[in-house]
Amino acid sequence: MEMRFESQYSGWDIDISCTPRLWASGDAPRLEKYTATAHASLIDQSESGDLWVDARMQVVSLGSRSFETPAECAHILLEDVHELIDALRKYQLTRR
């Protein structure tokens, strides 16, 4: 079953969707592991759009990484999203 988590960070709304996947390993029974995708969008945008590099939506995924529980999956992805938002903010500040 898909699990959803919502969060806010530094003026961004973050929506994480964790999806179960079945993984086969040789003759072992299939194991259910989770992977996720996050959508992050700015809560407030300036009228000129110059507050951020890209004021639209950022999408982050775990790629081929997978985890045993939806909570672990969401936690790792949320750390990745925070890192991206911090990097975008730092980049934007250096452009001024």
SS (H, E, C) the chain: CCEEEEEEECCEEEEEEEEEEEEEECCEEEEEEEEEEEEEEECCCCCCCCCCCCCCEEEEECCCCCECCHHHHHHHHHHHHHHHHHHHHHHHHHCC
Domain span at residue 71 reads 3-94
pLDDT, residue 7, reads: 93
pLDDT, tens only, 5-64:
999 998 889 999 998 887 766 666 677 888 899 999 887 765 555 555 555 678 899 888
Rounded to two decimals, the pTM is 0.76
87 touches 25 (CB < 8 A): no
pLDDT, tens only, 64-84:
888 989 999 999 999 999 999
Count of structural domains, the chain:
1
For residue 96, pLDDT beyond 90: no
Two tokens, residue 77: 């992805």
